[in-house]
Chain A
Amino acid sequence: MTTYRISNDVDEDYWTQTKAYRFDFDDQTLVESSSVVGSESSEATIDEVLGLSGSASSGARVAQSLDEGLAESVVSAQIDECLQHMKSQETSVGSKRSPQHVINSLSKGIDIDLHEYKGKEDKLELLDTALHTNEGNAIISVVLHLKRTTKDSIFNYELSRRSLAADHYLFYLRQNKRMTELVDTLSMLGRHEEAAITAYSQAIACRDIDTKVHNLKSCLRNHFTSGGNDCIFWNNYISEQISLLELQLPIESDDRRQEREGHNQLFTQTQRTPLIDLPVLSTLYYCCLFHYCLSENHLASPKAICKAFYLSDQQFVWTALSALAQTRQWLQIDTLFEYKSWLGNKRLKCCIGFDKVVLLLHRNGAPLEVLNKYLQTIDNLDTKFNLAKEMKHLELAIDQEIGKN
């Protein structure tokens, strides 16, 4: 066994000193290391290197040998000795640390290798101890150890019997964004609704619309067609969402082209926002703004959208009214409310009440004649008066008062 001599000069001092030295490979010199703080961290490093959970005495011994020199063979001799000591410790059952002790250390945040818990019973005992303390750090360390070292079927079975451990494991997967595993584990545990919702949240997080639609479709197929009443309830809405996205894509591309070409006056007059991923009513509003006059056969016709998504008359009238008011198409608004009475006369009727109509038009700066026309249709004199007052049309208000008396 030859001793590796670093330098003859520093020999004597070197071997009698207890300072810690670190060999800097860049400069090929020994640098005094002040960062080897205490035996704790060196113990940790040795642990990682040797892959053994060191007991205090052997750790200290190895640390001491570090102090005394980086002589390669000296260290290797020490390591051999350590290994043998460890192995002997391993086989004797009595020296295995108690589950409680391990859990306490894990709770304090000290990372301990759990390799000595080999048997299934031991591991489960450790897990149950951890669960008893309700300690996040400990539970998740043990669960991960279990996952690494047991067969999947056994892991799944034991996890499904311990809901607290399952909760912690699921939380861990969620934090680490391991979503496919999360969904699979949820399905395995029989939590189909949660799996469905998680898969759905993953699907809608996609930026690219085509992938989004694809993911939504597969999500719908896999999770929402079966698996509890709630899933079936959301099924409709998710299918609607898919249909909406599929509807928005062609309209958006076509409109963008038209906007670029600049022929269509509507696009130059009003600011156009991208249609993709807007909610249904906003889509309706958009189509009322830019595609109001299209026939029902056309994809982008407001009427077609109402039909496809089962929107009510009120929703249509209110949205169309807002859009038309914004673009100041007063004549079109008339056609919203007109209908032919059985005598053949043109009458005005509105399902949401003309008081709301008048206020909305006023807010959008409608001319007086238009406001007056709708104001007259309101039967209730008090409402008429209050509205007129609110809109600060004093002549109208005074007329109403006179009319009342």
Chain B
Amino acid sequence: MSHLSSGRLNVHHMKELAKHELLECLDKCVGSKAIVWDHELVPILGLVADYLVLKEHQVIQMFELRPGRLPAMTAKHVIYLTRTKLSLMDTIGDNMLNEDKKMVSNKEFHIIFVPRRSILCERKLQVLGVYGNFSTISEYGVELLALDSDVLSMEWDNSFTEIYIDNDYTALFHSAKALMTLQTLYGVIPNVFGLGKSAKVVFDLMSKMRKELSSTEPQITPQIDELLLIDRSVDLLTPLMTQTTYEGLLDEIFGISHTTIKVPPEKFVHQNSSTDGQSCDETVEAPTEAKQFHLNSSEELFVKLRDISYKSIGPTLRTSAKTLSQQFDERHTAKTVREIRQFVDKLPALQTARKSQSNHTSLAELIKEVTDEESFYETIHTEQSFVNCEDTDKSNPYIEDCIARVDPLVKILRLICIQCFTNNGLKSKVLEFYKREVLQTYGYQHVLTFNNLEKVGLIRISGGYSHRVYNVLRKTLRLTVRDINEVNPTDIAYVHSGYAPLSVRLAQYLDHPGWRAITDVLKTLPEPTIEETQEIAAGLRKRRNSGASIQTGLLDDQKLIVVFFLGGCTYTEISGLRFLSQKEGFNADFVIVTTNIINGKTFLQSLSGQSLN
């Protein structure tokens, strides 16, 4: 996974740290081990260590946590790796109670809670009567997982719902801890900016933690210049908009979970048979299982594709196909043995590149099927008219049509919420109309859905005084850009085909001309705004080349800004930040840290608490 070292910040260190801690936890039990995994943790910990590494530490068997009896195991230690969910405690209790008495005496049982021990869970185990069976109970506190060289995530699902609907700030506590780990590895971040309530909570927690650890702080020059904490509630609009970048669309259509994506396999069969040169008569059995891919920057083609708009996927693939075939054709021009040898050395790389090309071509075809549909066009068109403040105060005919057609409810809720946001609340007549239609078409249980959306502020009745707030925001920060060129974009608004994510714009304005220029606008956003500095020893402060002028733009002069999204971020926001850092005249690089990655569907699904189909 060397691609993790390729960014400005070597996040490979984080992965190594996490791996080291996991192995330390496991090594506490001496002897052969069998691990019983909580199903959800498998992909997450897959980002930290793979089976080979575990095997080196005497892990001989691995099982999934399931109710009923434990399968037969020969290992001396049985280690449960689980999250602190009470339902999982029930399953563990079930396992233990069904265990054969004789088996128990040969083995030792342990629990490792991820990320922390929980008194509630331990009490539950006591109530179930199995607490005494466990020899050790420990915790494995992995805070941040390196999804890519510039993206770190806590993979904390439902973080926004927990913070704003359940009022549970545990995710924020862990965010602060994650920041402390980050600062231990890369130095104390001197300048902190933030927006929103969660940002303030995290900053206060971080300051408190720093005070407690003041004597043991590592004395290293900070690699990170600024930290920007963004509370999701500051920008609720961006997750609702349809994402139109390659990675964004993959997430919207198929769902990318922990950098893995599962797609229907039909399109991928033909590629295999043709490259193997098998005859067409031979029938290849259609695979029934979904095909799975890892999507990260170790794939060169994916790096080129991930952040571009869906309109430029075709041209990019064509160019890369041409380059690839040119490279393959080199074998014809190779005359000397040395040239042939050079070609043969390049062969494995070329073959992986070819596989990558065919995979992404198929993925692009799958995306095209969706983006060619009339409904996709209509949805984008409706969203664009809303964010441009056109016709936002009446009930929208396209939304009505979708309800009449019984389209998936999540799509309708997204559009209603966007309209509500851009109109600064809807008139009670319009809102009642929407509610009525939805309840009658999808069932009365969505009273609960609406209640949650109102609690968070996604749906509200317009108050008279604030009726033009969004429009002011839009004009001052240039949130919408007419006639955006998606193929050769000049502005981040291409990620949503004409709407620039508010959060990314705020990051852009922070660098230049600074937030002082937009204080009026900032006041309309959810309070508070933070601009603080953290004390570090004078000798450690980064010395900037006083002689060199800004125009030469030496790489070392590029600021490194960590943007921390509290409550989730979308792939388009990541793409937007990457685009910004490559833009001319913008001299900062970004590392994105987030509680989790979200899209409109997962965001609303988690808020509503019910199935939205």
A residues near B (Cβ < 8 Å) are: 34-35, 37, 41, 106, 108-109, 111, 134-137, 140-141, 167-168, 171-172, 174-176, 193, 197, 200-201, 204, 230, 234, 237-238, 240-241, 244, 277-282, 309, 311, 315, 318
Instruction: Please measure, in the bound complex, the distance between the C-alpha atom of A358 and the C-alpha atom of B581, giving whole angstroms.
Output: 52
Whether the pair A106, B119 counts as a contact (CB closer than 8 A) is yes
Q: Which of A171, A279, A315, A318 has the largest number of chain B CB atoms within 10 A? A: A279
Kindly list chain B residues whose C-beta atoms are within 8 Å of the C-beta of A281.
406, 440-441
The 8 Å CB contact of B166, one of A109, A171, A201, is A171
Instruction: Please measure, in the bound complex, the distance between the C-alpha atom of A167 and the C-alpha atom of B445, giving whole angstroms.
Output: 25
9 A-B pairs with C-beta separation under 8 A: A109-B113, A109-B118, A109-B139, A193-B451, A204-B445, A230-B454, A237-B444, A241-B444, A279-B441
Whether the pair A111, B119 counts as a contact (CB closer than 8 A) is yes
Nearest first, the 6 closest Cβ-Cβ pairs linking A and B are: A109-B117, A241-B444, A279-B443, A167-B167, A280-B440, A281-B441
Q: Could you tell me the distance in whole angstroms from the C-beta of B201 to the nearest C-beta in chain A?
A: 7
Q: Could you tell me the distance in whole angstroms from the C-beta of B37 to the nearest C-beta in chain A?
A: 21
Instruction: Please measure, in the bound complex, the distance between the C-alpha atom of A174 and the C-alpha atom of B86, giving whole angstroms.
Output: 11
Whether the pair A136, B441 counts as a contact (CB closer than 8 A) is no
Binary contact readout B484-509 vs A (1 if CB under 8 angstroms, 0 otherwise): 00000000000000000000000000
Kindly list chain B residues whose C-beta atoms are within 8 Å of the C-beta of A318.
404
Known: A35-B108, A135-B173. A172 touches B120 (CB 8 A): yes
Kindly list chain A residues whose C-beta atoms are within 8 Å of the C-beta of B441.
279-282
Chain B residues 100-141 with CB under 8 Å of chain A are: 108, 113, 116-120, 122-123, 135-136, 139
| SS class, residues of chain B in contact with chain A | helix
Whether the pair B86, A176 counts as a contact (CB closer than 8 A) is yes
Instruction: Please measure, in the bound complex, the distance between the C-alpha atom of A189 and the C-alpha atom of B307, giving whole angstroms.
Output: 49
Closest B residue, CB atoms, query A108: B117
Chain B residues 143-180 with CB under 8 Å of chain A are: 166-170, 173
Known: A197-B448, A200-B448. A175 touches B120 (CB 8 A): yes
Known: A171-B168, A238-B444. A134 touches B120 (CB 8 A): no
A-B contacts counted at CB < 8 A amount to 90
Q: Could you tell me the distance in whole angstroms from the C-beta of A326 to the nearest C-beta in chain B?
A: 14
Q: Could you tell me the distance in whole angstroms from the C-beta of A126 to the nearest C-beta in chain B?
A: 15
Instruction: Please measure, in the bound complex, the distance between the C-alpha atom of A356 and the C-alpha atom of B406, giving whole angstroms.
Output: 15
Instruction: Please measure, in the bound complex, the distance between the C-alpha atom of A124 and the C-alpha atom of B398, giving whole angstroms.
Output: 56
Whether the pair B173, A234 counts as a contact (CB closer than 8 A) is no
Chain B residues 433-467 with CB under 8 Å of chain A are: 439-445, 447-448, 451, 454
Q: Could you tell me the distance in whole angstroms from the C-beta of B51 to the nearest C-beta in chain A?
A: 28
Whether the pair B120, A109 counts as a contact (CB closer than 8 A) is no
Q: Could you tell me the distance in whole angstroms from the C-beta of A287 to the nearest C-beta in chain B?
A: 14
Whether the pair A237, B448 counts as a contact (CB closer than 8 A) is no
Q: Could you tell me the distance in whole angstroms from the C-beta of A13 to the nearest C-beta in chain B?
A: 24
Instruction: Please measure, in the bound complex, the distance between the C-alpha atom of A140 and the C-alpha atom of B86, giving whole angstroms.
Output: 15
Q: Could you tell me the distance in whole angstroms from the C-beta of B297 to the nearest C-beta in chain A?
A: 36
Known: A167-B167, A197-B448, A200-B447. A309 touches B440 (CB 8 A): yes
Whether the pair A234, B440 counts as a contact (CB closer than 8 A) is no
B9 within 8 A of A: no
Kindly list chain A residues whose C-beta atoms are within 8 Å of the C-beta of B123.
111
Instruction: Please measure, in the bound complex, the distance between the C-alpha atom of A344 and the C-alpha atom of B380, giving whole angstroms.
Output: 47
Closest B residue, CB atoms, query A104: B212
Closest B residue, CB atoms, query A244: B444
Whether the pair A140, B119 counts as a contact (CB closer than 8 A) is yes
Instruction: Please measure, in the bound complex, the distance between the C-alpha atom of A302 and the C-alpha atom of B313, giving whole angstroms.
Output: 50
Whether the pair B448, A315 counts as a contact (CB closer than 8 A) is no
Whether the pair B201, A311 counts as a contact (CB closer than 8 A) is no
Instruction: Please measure, in the bound complex, the distance between the C-alpha atom of A172 and the C-alpha atom of B443, giving whole angstroms.
Output: 29
B205 within 8 A of A: yes
Q: Could you tell me the distance in whole angstroms from the C-beta of B64 to the nearest C-beta in chain A?
A: 23
Closest A residue, CB atoms, query B204: A134
Instruction: Please measure, in the bound complex, the distance between the C-alpha atom of A280 and the C-alpha atom of B437, giving whole angstroms.
Output: 10
Instruction: Please measure, in the bound complex, the distance between the C-alpha atom of A41 and the C-alpha atom of B137, giving whole angstroms.
Output: 10
Closest B residue, CB atoms, query A240: B444
B residues near A (Cβ < 8 Å) are: 86, 108, 113, 116-120, 122-123, 135-136, 139, 166-170, 173, 201, 205, 404, 406, 439-445, 447-448, 451, 454
The 8 Å CB contact of B439, one of A141, A200, A237, is A237
Known: A35-B135, A171-B166, A172-B120. A277 touches B86 (CB 8 A): no
The 8 Å CB contact of B168, one of A108, A136, A238, A277, is A136
Closest A residue, CB atoms, query B135: A35
Kindly list chain B residues whose C-beta atoms are within 8 Å of the C-beta of A193.
451
Q: Could you tell me the distance in whole angstroms from the C-beta of A283 to the nearest C-beta in chain B?
A: 10
The 8 Å CB contact of A136, one of B170, B201, B442, B443, is B170
Known: A134-B173, A136-B168. A141 touches B119 (CB 8 A): yes
Instruction: Please measure, in the bound complex, the distance between the C-alpha atom of A373 and the C-alpha atom of B136, giving whole angstroms.
Output: 79
Instruction: Please measure, in the bound complex, the distance between the C-alpha atom of A278 and the C-alpha atom of B445, giving whole angstroms.
Output: 11
Closest A residue, CB atoms, query B454: A230
Whether the pair B117, A37 counts as a contact (CB closer than 8 A) is no
Kindly list chain B residues whose C-beta atoms are within 8 Å of the C-beta of A200.
447-448
The 8 Å CB contact of A134, one of B136, B205, B442, is B205
The 8 Å CB contact of B440, one of A141, A171, A311, is A311
Instruction: Please measure, in the bound complex, the distance between the C-alpha atom of A111 and the C-alpha atom of B443, giving whole angstroms.
Output: 45
Kindly list chain B residues whose C-beta atoms are within 8 Å of the C-beta of A167.
166-168
Q: Could you tell me the distance in whole angstroms from the C-beta of B213 to the nearest C-beta in chain A?
A: 13
Q: Could you tell me the distance in whole angstroms from the C-beta of B169 to the nearest C-beta in chain A?
A: 6
Whether the pair B451, A197 counts as a contact (CB closer than 8 A) is yes
Instruction: Please measure, in the bound complex, the distance between the C-alpha atom of A240 and the C-alpha atom of B168, giving whole angstroms.
Output: 34
Instruction: Please measure, in the bound complex, the distance between the C-alpha atom of A176 and the C-alpha atom of B86, giving whole angstroms.
Output: 8
The 8 Å CB contact of A234, one of B119, B167, B201, B447, is B447
Whether the pair B443, A109 counts as a contact (CB closer than 8 A) is no
Q: Which of A35, A37, A108, A244 has the largest number of chain B CB atoms within 10 A? A: A35
Whether the pair A277, B443 counts as a contact (CB closer than 8 A) is yes
Q: Could you tell me the distance in whole angstroms from the C-beta of A53 to the nearest C-beta in chain B?
A: 15
Closest A residue, CB atoms, query B610: A201
Whether the pair B119, A109 counts as a contact (CB closer than 8 A) is yes
Kindly list chain A residues whose C-beta atoms are within 8 Å of the C-beta of B451.
193, 197, 230, 234
Q: Could you tell me the distance in whole angstroms from the C-beta of A304 to the nearest C-beta in chain B?
A: 16
Whether the pair B447, A111 counts as a contact (CB closer than 8 A) is no
Kindly list chain B residues whose C-beta atoms are within 8 Å of the C-beta of A172.
120
Kindly list chain A residues whose C-beta atoms are within 8 Å of the C-beta of B440.
279-281, 309, 311, 315
Known: A136-B170, A172-B120. A37 touches B135 (CB 8 A): yes
Instruction: Please measure, in the bound complex, the distance between the C-alpha atom of A311 and the C-alpha atom of B439, giving whole angstroms.
Output: 12
Closest A residue, CB atoms, query B122: A111
Instruction: Please measure, in the bound complex, the distance between the C-alpha atom of A174 and the C-alpha atom of B161, giving whole angstroms.
Output: 14
Kindly list chain A residues whose C-beta atoms are within 8 Å of the C-beta of B201.
134
Known: A136-B170, A237-B439. A175 touches B444 (CB 8 A): no
Q: Could you tell me the distance in whole angstroms from the C-beta of B244 to the nearest C-beta in chain A?
A: 26
Instruction: Please measure, in the bound complex, the distance between the C-alpha atom of A136 and the C-alpha atom of B205, giving whole angstroms.
Output: 13
Instruction: Please measure, in the bound complex, the distance between the C-alpha atom of A135 and the C-alpha atom of B169, giving whole angstroms.
Output: 8
Q: Could you tell me the distance in whole angstroms from the C-beta of B343 to the nearest C-beta in chain A?
A: 53
Q: Could you tell me the distance in whole angstroms from the C-beta of B28 to the nearest C-beta in chain A?
A: 10
Whether the pair B119, A279 counts as a contact (CB closer than 8 A) is no
